[in-house]
Structure 1
Amino acid sequence: MAEEKKKKRVGIVGFGNLGQYLYEAVKAHEDYEIAFVWNRTLDNLKGKIPANFVLEDLGQFASRNPDVIAEVAHPSISAQYGPLFLEKADYMVGSPTALAEQHVEDRLRQAASHHGLYIPAGALWGGGDIQKMADRGTLKGLKITMTKHPDHFRLASPLKEKNASVTDKAITLYDGPVRGLCPLAPHNVNTMAAGAIAAHNLGFDKVKGCLVSDPSLTEWHHVEVEVIGPGDHEAGKAFSVNTLRKNPAKPGAVTGSATSVSFLSSLLRAHDMGPGVHLC
Structure 2
Amino acid sequence: MRVGVVGYGHVGQYLVQQIEEHASLDLAFVWNRTLSALDGLKKEVILENLADFADRNADLIVEVAHPNITKEWGQKFLVAADYMIGSPTALSDAALEAELRNASGSHGLYIPTGAFWGGEDIKKMADRGTLQALRVTMTKHPSSFKLNGDLKTKNDHVVDKPVVLYEGSVRGLCPLAPNNVNTMAAAAAAAHNLGFDKVTGCLVSDPSLTDWHIVEVEVWGPGNMDNDTAFHVKTVRRNPASIGAVTGSATYASFLSSMLGAHGKGPGVHLC
For residues 219-272 of structure 1, give each alpha carbon's deviation from its aligned partner in whole angstroms, at most 9, with x where no partner exists.
100000000101022332110100000000012101101111111000000000
**Residues in 2 aligned to 1:233 and 1:181: alpha-carbon distance in whole angstroms:** 25
**Structure 1 residue 122 corresponds to structure 2 residue 114:** yes
Paired AA for residue 188 in structure 2: A
Residue 226 of structure 1 aligns to a residue whose secondary structure is strand
**Residues in 1 aligned to 2:221 and 2:149: alpha-carbon distance in whole angstroms:** 35
**Structure 1 residue 66 corresponds to structure 2 residue 58:** yes
For residues 143-183 of structure 1, give each alpha carbon's deviation from its aligned partner in whole angstroms, at most 9, with x where no partner exists.
00000010110100110010011111100000000000000
Pick aligned residue for 1:84 from 76, 90, 96:
76
Pick aligned residue for 1:153 from 133, 136, 145:
145
Look up the match of 1:108.
100
Paired AA for residue 20 in structure 1: Q
Paired AA for residue 258 in structure 1: A
**Residues in 1 aligned to 2:227 and 2:11: alpha-carbon distance in whole angstroms:** 46
Q: CA deviation at 1:104?
A: 1.0
**Residues in 2 aligned to 1:100 and 1:235: alpha-carbon distance in whole angstroms:** 32
**Structure 1 residue 44 corresponds to structure 2 residue 37:** yes
Look up the match of 2:2.
9
Look up the match of 2:28.
35
Look up the match of 1:267.
259
**Structure 1 residue 180 corresponds to structure 2 residue 157:** no
Look up the match of 1:3.
none
**Structure 1 residue 56 corresponds to structure 2 residue 77:** no
TM-score by length of 2: 0.99
Look up the match of 1:4.
none
Structure 2 residues not aligned, in runs of 5+ = none
**Residues in 1 aligned to 2:212 and 2:35: alpha-carbon distance in whole angstroms:** 33
Look up the match of 2:204.
212
Look up the match of 2:11.
18
**Residues in 2 aligned to 1:29 and 1:36: alpha-carbon distance in whole angstroms:** 15
Look up the match of 1:5.
none
Q: CA deviation at 1:32?
A: 0.3
For residues 57-113 of structure 1, give each alpha carbon's deviation from its aligned partner in whole angstroms, at most 9, with x where no partner exists.
111100000000000000000010000100110000000000001111011100000
Look up the match of 1:75.
67
**Structure 1 residue 235 corresponds to structure 2 residue 227:** yes
Paired positions, count? 272
Residue 69 of structure 2 aligns to a residue whose secondary structure is helix
Using the aligned pairs only, state the percent identity: 62
Pick aligned residue for 1:201 from 190, 193, 202:
193
Residue 230 of structure 1 aligns to a residue whose secondary structure is coil
Residue 58 of structure 2 aligns to a residue whose secondary structure is coil
**Residues in 2 aligned to 1:207 and 1:126: alpha-carbon distance in whole angstroms:** 15
Paired AA for residue 134 in structure 2: L
